[in-house]
Structure 1
Amino acid sequence: MNRTARLYALVEELRAAAPRPLAVAVLAARFEVSTRTVQRDLQALMEAGVPVRTSPGRGGGWSIDREMTLPPIQFTADEASALAVALAAADACAPYAGAARTAAQKIAASMTGPASAAAQELAARIVTLPAPANPTVRVRAAVEQALTANTVLRLSYIDATGREIDRVVEPAGLLTTDGRWYLIAWCRTRRAGRGFRLDRITAAAPTGERAQPHDLAELLHGSTAAGAVQPTALASLTPSRPGPQPGKGRR
């Protein structure tokens, strides 16, 4: 068994036993390798973000949080190739790009056989011209945090005329078009929905204040982006809900 397959198998072995921890010696015997090899593999999984942990003492060992992991997923060669293309399109300036990279590492570690070979072969034939390093990592992280935690964000922004403005906004979502990303938010200054191009945000600071909920479609209503639709690939991730009601999300 090669190392990639063993890492995948280790995760599944820990999942099957969870929440009971397994000793390194038990895992070493199971995979017919040394305890040093198992220890090194488990450390690699931890550094890659897999929720494995160790507990010392009698009855201790390594365990995994089942709530934070997925059961085995079998990809076809075409599906694995599609993932390689999608990940290549998620450049370093895109929101959640860092999380996309760690997710890619976990997916790659779980793939074996024809799917793994297809993804690796296609990945070797995809190249890109690096984009300018905007928005900065700090700005992108602040936007991600505000969207995830639903908190108010203070922005410094260069508008279309080149003027720098300050705004306090309540994030509602993200819009992507023509390779650019926009933060769609309720602007407290304009008391209306506004779009802020991420590469024009020069500074972003979370305030810690809880934001009011705003309907994304309602904020886009009447703008040039009113016809924006959810990407087909994301539809299966989103629970169905009733359409926007007039005035909902506005204050």
Structure 2
Amino acid sequence: MNRTDRLYALVEELRAVSPRPRSARWLAGRFEVSTRTIERDITALQGAGVPIWAEPGRTGGYVVDRARTLPPVNLTPGEAVAMAVALHRLGGTPFAPAAGAALRKLVAVMPPADAAEAHRLAGRVHLIGGGPATPVPAAVADAVSARRVLRLRYADRAGAVSARDVEPLAYLGNPTHWYLVAWCRLRGGVRCFRTDRIVSVHPLAEAVTRELRPEDLDIPAGRVRPLSLV
């Protein structure tokens, strides 16, 4: 079991027996790791806002507040990333720390496979500044997670329309617009397509296998950052 899966399993184990405690030694045997590893895991969970405390004594151990934790949440990876984008817009407000803590708690109780996919999808969303408010066509909104080649009709800034087959790689948002970052087969390179200039979208059956490299985004370091769920 990897560490991420173990952290989720630890919370669920403590939830299942709450309010009874589980000792570090018992948990170490259950998850086949050292007691030191369990103690580090508990510290990490406490740092993420999970309400776990230690009860002293011969029959003591770790206890989780069942009333303040959630069972596995049926959020999809896309829904988790959508929440992260929305919460990003709270940056600089008094609510930003509380919003970030709420999102971390939700991701912490997602099924491990869904949480891992949410983190992968979030890594393909890049934001500049506060993030945009312009709408994105539905087919484009699903493009990066669906990993399918798209056939676009795209208008440039002069209004000239061209047909493009593109391989969606990421999203880029600035305070004004959303862009689809994709490998353009017509131009033979990575291009950013402003979503409000996409005239039509047709998903193709072909899967995308290409990945975005950091150097593909020709933006000065420090101005752009990947979306984070933590």
Aligned pair count? 132
Shift of 1:61: 0.6
Identical pairs, percent: 52
Instruction: Give the SS at the match of 1:127.
Output: strand
Using CA pairs below 8 Å that are at least 6 residues apart, which structure has the higher relative contact order?
2
* Preserved contact between residue 78 and residue 115 of structure 1 (Cα < 8 Å): no
* Preserved contact between residue 80 and residue 115 of structure 1 (Cα < 8 Å): no
Instruction: Give the aligned partner of residue 87 of structure 1.
Output: 87
* Preserved contact between residue 90 and residue 97 of structure 1 (Cα < 8 Å): yes
Instruction: Give the aligned partner of residue 104 of structure 1.
Output: 103
CA deviation vs aligned residue, 1:163-213 (integer Å, no higher than 9, x gap): xxxxxxxxxxxxxxx99xxxxxxxxxxxxxxxxxxxxxxxxxxxxxxxxxx
* Preserved contact between residue 55 and residue 61 of structure 1 (Cα < 8 Å): yes
* Preserved contact between residue 23 and residue 60 of structure 1 (Cα < 8 Å): yes
Instruction: Give the aligned partner of residue 75 of structure 1.
Output: 75
RMSD: 2.4
TM-score, length of structure 2 as denominator length? 0.51
Instruction: Give the aligned partner of residue 36 of structure 1.
Output: 36
Shift of 1:113: 4.8
Distance in 2 (CA, whole Å) between partners of 1:110 and 1:49 is 12
TM-score, length of structure 1 as denominator length? 0.47
CA deviation vs aligned residue, 1:142-167 (integer Å, no higher than 9, x gap): xxxxxxxxxxxxxxxxxxxxxxxxxx
Shift of 1:4: 1.4
Residue type at the aligned position of 1:129? I
Matches within 5 A, 1:129-168: 129-130=128-129
Q: Does 1:124 align with 2:123?
A: yes
| Residues 114, 39 of structure 1: alpha-carbon distance in 2 compared, 3 angstrom cutoff | closer
Shift of 1:14: 0.6
| Residues 77, 18 of structure 1: alpha-carbon distance in 2 compared, 3 angstrom cutoff | same
Matches within 5 A, 1:59-70: 59-70=59-70
Residue type at the aligned position of 1:111? M
Distance in 1 (CA, whole Å) between partners of 2:35 and 2:74 is 29
Instruction: Give the SS at the match of 1:70.
Output: coil
Question: Where does structure 1 lack aligned partners over 5 or more consecutive residues?
Answer: 132-177, 180-251
| Residues 80, 130 of structure 1: alpha-carbon distance in 2 compared, 3 angstrom cutoff | closer
* Preserved contact between residue 52 and residue 65 of structure 2 (Cα < 8 Å): yes
